[in-house]
């Protein structure tokens, strides 16, 4: 049985192992300072970033999801944005990812978010199988502008 709940302070060690796995999957460097900042956000009820975890009935964390409200100017309303979703590789197929997404959908309904959006890598085929069942793929293309791309960082 998978239980989905909000992140708690006592989750830190298991959450950190999962989040480091997530960062490794996306080939993003992380360090203790970044993890401390993020975990602080997740525990702060005033911060826009929220966290959920999926756990077994025995209390072992299977996965995590981080999400937030995001303004949608065209809608004149807030929508949801899923920043991170990660399941322990040994637990994939357990239903934890679907349970996390369904909980976010419940939260979206309670908050009147018309949609919840997220971005994934094109080659994330296993996750995309689930996403294709529970969501609609948009026709948007994601761009990232940074100091290198604009020439602001000429060094």
Mean pLDDT for the chain? 94
Q: Can you tell me the mean pLDDT for 50-65?
A: 96
Domain assignment present for residue 155? The answer is: no
Domain assignment present for residue 49? The answer is: yes
Alpha-carbon span 62 to 60, nearest angstrom: 6
Domain assignment present for residue 102? The answer is: yes
Q: What is the CATH number of the domain that holds 85?
A: 3.40.630.30
Give me the number of domains the chain comprises: 1
Give the structural domain span for 107.
2-150
Domain assignment present for residue 129? The answer is: yes
Q: What share of the chain is helix, strand, coil (3-state, %, to 5)?
A: 40, 25, 35
Domain assignment present for residue 7? The answer is: yes
Domain assignment present for residue 51? The answer is: yes
Question: pLDDT tens-digit profile of 97-148?
Answer: 999 999 999 999 999 999 999 999 888 888 999 999 999 999 988 899 999 9
């Amino acid at each position: 049985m998978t239980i989905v709940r909000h992140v708690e302070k006592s989750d830190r060690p298991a959450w950190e192992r999962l989040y480091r796995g997530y960062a490794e999957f996306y080939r993003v460097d992380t360090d203790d300072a970044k993890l401390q900042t993020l975990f602080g956000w997740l525990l702060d009820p005033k911060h826009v970033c929220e966290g959920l975890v999926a756990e077994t009935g025995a209390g072992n964390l299977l996965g995590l999801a981080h999400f937030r409200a995001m303004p949608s100017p065209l809608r004149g309303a807030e929508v949801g944005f899923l920043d991170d979703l990660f399941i322990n590789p040994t637990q994939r197929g357990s239903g934890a990812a679907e349970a996390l997404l369904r909980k976010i959908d419940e939260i979206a309904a309670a908050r009147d978010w018309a949609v919840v959006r997220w971005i994934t890598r094109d080659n994330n085929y296993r996750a995309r199988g689930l996403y294709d069942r529970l969501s609609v793929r948009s026709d948007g293309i994601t761009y990232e502008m940074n100091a290198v791309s604009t020439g602001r960082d000429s060094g």
